[in-house]
Amino acid sequence: MAQNMMLYWGSGSPPCWRVMIALEEKMLQGYKHKLLSFEKNEHKCEEVKALNPRAQVPTFKHGDIVVNESFAACLYLESAFKSQGTRLIPDDPTEQAFVYQRVFETNNLQQKMYEVAFYEHYVPEGERHESVLKRNKESLVAELKLWDGYLEKMGKGSYLAGKSFTMADVVCFPVIAYFPRLHCPREHCPRLMEYYEMLKDRPSIKASWPPHWLEKPEGPDMLKNL
């Protein structure tokens, strides 16, 4: 089954990483894949554009089915292989709602992290303002405090949506992994860092760990002065 799948991806991309974690959790090892370089703009190649007009990764194909948005690809894999591997979406509607809430809240955390860590990348030099970066940092600290509160309320050893590993963890862990890598002060998110330590050696996460992170475990200190 997995041999009929193709994933185009980039190392360190949270959207790509979450799809790879989902594939591992659903026991779909052996899928075809192609690692593309962001620095060389390989994700904008014709091979990708033929499947994804946005020329973005992840670009995922299963047989004749193409699913390009990472949340959609993860949810597709859970639906198509519901009885295989880890159950990522519970049956109970109340539990489902909680998982979906955390899944889509991940967008907030990811965007606020990008706005601080990659501010100089996305904003041209002449348009940068210290006051804007300061506001971005304050917003990110508040977001981290919110997520820390979620874990605090659920108790030690909890996953993002309860006592079981779910789609919320698949989707959000790749974002959370950036905080220790970019030297975010632990005092801003002690519970998230406990959660990170709990999950970083999970087989699906280790198997899909970004290759360039393995080569260079220490990332730049973009969040050091948060």
**What pLDDT, on a 0 to 100 scale, did the predictor assign at position 125?**
82
Distance from the Cα of residue 157 to its chain's centroid = 20
Same fold, 2-80 and 93-215: no
Q: What is the pLDDT of residue 119?
A: 86
φ, ψ for residue 186, nearest 5 deg: -60, -30
How confident is the prediction along the chain (226 residues), in pLDDT tens digits per residue? Answer: 788 999 999 999 999 999 999 999 999 999 999 999 999 999 999 999 999 999 999 999 999 999 999 999 999 999 999 999 999 999 999 999 999 999 999 999 999 999 999 988 788 888 889 899 999 999 999 999 999 999 999 999 999 999 999 999 999 999 999 999 999 999 999 999 999 999 999 999 999 999 999 999 989 999 999 9
The helix-helix angle for 167-176 and 93-117 (nearest 10°) equals 10
Which residues lie closer than 8 Å to 98 by C-beta, 6 or more apart? 161, 162
Predicted TM-score (pTM) of the model is: 0.96
Domain ranges of the chain: 2-80, 93-215
Confirm or reject CATH 1.20.1050.10 for domain 93-215, answering yes or no.
Answer: yes
Task: Give 178-224 as a 3 state SS string.
Answer: HHHHCCCCHHHCHHHHHHHHHHCCCHHHHHCCCHHHHHCCCCCCCCC
Please say whether the structural domain 2-80 has been given the CATH code 3.40.30.10. yes
